[in-house]
Amino acid sequence: SFKPLVFSGVQPTGNLHLGNYLGAIRKFVALQENNDCIYCVVDLHSLTATLVHPDLADQTRSITAAFLAAGIDPKKHIVFNQARVSQHAELAWIFNCVARIGWMNRMTQFKDKAGKDRENASLGLLAYPSLMAADILLYRATHVPVGEDQKQHLELTRDIAQKFNNDFSSRIADLGIGVEMQVGEETVNGFFPLTEPLIGGPAARIMSLRDGSKKMSKSDPSDLSRINLTDDADTISKKIRKAKTDPAGLPSELDGLAGRPEAENLVGIYAGLADITKEEVLRQFAGQQFSVFKPALADLAVDKLAPIAGEMRRLMADPAYIDSVLRDGGQRAGALAERTMKSVREIIGL
Ligand code: ADP
Ligand code: NA
């Protein structure tokens, strides 16, 4: 079977928020202990929405700084930005020819981001999941920690891997470069693994603080909707104080949060930050009003985020250091990527 490897990426678009931290980056940090990990700032992905980005290089440094400040170790693992390793774009092209247009048209993120004027969305936005599959499969990664919003893209990554493995099964066998893997009942010889998403926990989907039906997002025009990793203590407290809730207090059981998305979201944020379950949060705060819970949540958020923000500021004052991390990571990632691409070119006959 395939050697376990963790891969994930974050786009250099806007400020990182609590959803990115709890849904993704905090998991990246935890996974370092028992895995080889590759963490990528996916700058090519950020072009799908806005091609002209005057501050792209700084945004890339800022995500890198967040990775390092959160505790990712760029010596033991690999941290780099996607554009440094041109094989990402090369494999994405191959996958554009593996994937079907119908698969892409079904992606809910494409529908959301393209909006009503779909004809005017970039072709890159439609092909986004194909580049994401390339990011992952270029390293033959077996596990991808992401938030719940990425679930459908991970399924598509598996579809692409499976179709490639099927379409080229005899070439892969002839060249003797396949790996034995279990697909349902069958044992097959594949070149690409069927990657497992690592989604879950109380913070897999953090919602907007202003509207419990929308996910917390960098692109939300309301800054009150999200807590940014770099917000200061007063801003964090203010945003939590102003967060939408309902008049009822905190219930003692999870059932009591049904139909109360804003309340459930705040409980999930507390659970994520404290690294406990929602049930445990409710045991602690059962019967309390939000006037008590919100200040406790604000204190906890400041406690967890202030050290990261401080370290990010320190790192951002030394852009040459951040660039050296990306350069070194890019070289190591590039060597691994080229190994995979050599085989892919051979399989296809390029
Ligand atoms: P965004 O969705 O904010 O533009 P990215 O697409 O770069 O950010 O996502 C980076 C990571 O953060 C992904 O793994 C994504 O699933 C995760 N993520 C983004 N928003 C949330 C959220 N509201 N809750 C949990 N995880 C999230
Ligand atoms: Na996203």
- pLDDT tens-place string over residues 121-137: 999 999 999 999 999 99
Q: Is the CB of 49 under 6 A from ligand 1?
A: no
User: Could you identify the atom of ligand 1 that is nearest to the CA of residue 215?
Assistant: 23
Mean pLDDT of 97-115: 96
Q: Is the CB of 205 under 6 A from ligand 1?
A: yes
> What residues contact 292, with CB distance under 8 A and at least 6 apart?
285
pLDDT, residue 65, reads 98
Question: How far apart are the C-alpha atoms of 247 and 256, rounded to whole Å?
Answer: 13
Catalytic (active site) residue 151: no
Q: For all residues of the chain together, what is the average pLDDT? A: 96
Distance 170 CA to ligand 2 centre (A): 37
Q: Is the dihedral of CA 135, 136, 140, 141 positive or negative?
A: positive
Q: Is the CB of 217 under 6 A from ligand 1?
A: yes
pLDDT, residue 25, reads 96
Q: Do domains 6-202+319-348 and 223-315 have the same CATH topology?
A: no
What are the tokens at 2? Answer: 């395939």
User: Could you identify the atom of ligand 1 that is nearest to the CA of residue 13?
Assistant: 4
Residue 72 clears pLDDT 90, i.e. is over it:
yes
Ligand nearest to the CA of 197: 1
Mean pLDDT of 46-60: 94
**pLDDT class of 202 with cuts at 50, 70, 90:** confident
Q: What is the pLDDT of residues 237-285, one digit of tens each?
A: 999 999 999 999 999 999 999 999 999 999 999 999 999 999 999 999 9
Q: Which CATH superfamily hosts domain 223-315?
A: Tyrosyl-Transfer RNA Synthetase (1.10.240.10)
Q: Is the CB of 206 under 6 A from ligand 1?
A: yes
Residue holding tokens 């200061």? 232
**pLDDT class of 14 with cuts at 50, 70, 90:** confident
Ligand nearest to the CA of 22: 1
- Helix-then-strand count for the chain, H and E: 15, 7
Buried b (16+ CB within 10 A) or exposed e, 11-25: bbbbbbbbbbbbbbb
SS3 17: strand
Mean pLDDT of 197-218: 94
**pLDDT class of 143 with cuts at 50, 70, 90:** very high
Tell me the β-bridge partners of 144: 197
CATH architecture of 6-202+319-348: 3-Layer(aba) Sandwich (3.40)
**pLDDT class of 200 with cuts at 50, 70, 90:** confident
Quote the pTM value: 0.96
Environment class of residue 34 by beta-carbon count within 10 Å: exposed (0-12), middle (13-18) or buried (19+)?
exposed
Q: Tell me the binding residues for ATP.
A: 11-13, 19-20, 147-149, 206, 215-219
Q: Tell me the binding residues for L-tryptophan.
A: 135
The CA-atom distances, in angstroms, between 28 and each of 8, 154, 193 are: 8, 17, 20
Contact (CB, 8 A) for 26 and 134? no
Q: Is the CB of 260 under 6 A from ligand 1?
A: no
Catalytic residue among 151, 163, 218, 304: 218
Distance 121 CA to ligand 2 centre (A): 17
Catalytic (active site) residue 215: yes
pLDDT, residue 15, reads 85
> What residues contact 24, with CB distance under 8 A and at least 6 apart?
8, 10, 145, 146, 147
Q: Where are the domains of the chain?
A: 6-202+319-348, 223-315
pLDDT, residue 60, reads 98
> Percent of the chain having pLDDT more than 70?
100
Residue nearest to atom 21 of ligand 1 (CA): 19
pLDDT, residue 81, reads 98
The arrangement of strands across the sheet holding 37-41 comes to: 78-81, 37-41, 6-10, 143-145, 196-198
Relative orientation angle of helices 56-70 and 290-316, to the nearest 10 degrees: 110
Catalytic (active site) residue 27: no
pLDDT, residue 290, reads 97
Which ipTM did the prediction report? 0.95
> Percent of the chain having pLDDT more than 90?
94
Buried b (16+ CB within 10 A) or exposed e, 54-87: eebeebbbbbbbbbbbbebebeebbbbbbbbbeb
Q: Is the CB of 208 under 6 A from ligand 1?
A: no
Distance 348 CA to ligand 1 centre (A): 34
